[in-house]
Amino acid sequence: MKLSVLGLLFISVDTFVAFFGLIAYLMLLTMLVHPAIAVTLALIFNADLFYEAYVWAQATIRSGSSNWALRALERLFHYLYLLLPMVHPFGKKTENIYSSLRVLHGEWKYLLYSFGYALALSAFCYFLALFALQRKKHI
């Protein structure tokens, strides 16, 4: 019983930290474009999409297709994957917790790492949005 309560606590805090980073990213996007467009961009064009496209391009190249446009797409997908923020940066390490609600002692560090990532992302997005606001022409 106690294990499932700790698992629920872990998932709740992890989701809150992911929400914290996502709000910072949306703040930056809404500074650059209309809020409705920003939400659409954040939902559709995320890091997972470009990672899957990168894996697809690599698989196609390894299967024998050596087209220059495909290699350019592979590099584009790779850089877009690296550029866009992740919602759950340690999702592969914590996916067992989400399914079993059991947290081992060594897995609590991923909450701290995720919080550090969200804090760094928030600071970066804040300062970039502040810079964009200063450059924007106001009426």
Write the pLDDT tens digit of every residue in 99-135: 888 898 899 999 999 999 999 999 999 999 999 888 8
Residue type, 43: L
> Which CA distances in Å does 53 have to 12, 27, 48, 121?
30, 26, 9, 24
Residue 139 has pLDDT above 80, yes or no: no
On the question of pLDDT at 66 being above 90, the answer is: no
Contact present, 115 and 17 (Cβ < 8 Å): yes
pTM: 0.82
Provide the residue ranges of all domains of the chain, joining segments of one domain with +. Answer: 1-44+87-139, 47-83
Q: What is the mean pLDDT of the chain?
A: 91
Q: Which whole number is the average pLDDT over 27-44? A: 92
Q: Is the predicted pLDDT of residue 42 greater than 70, yes or no?
A: yes
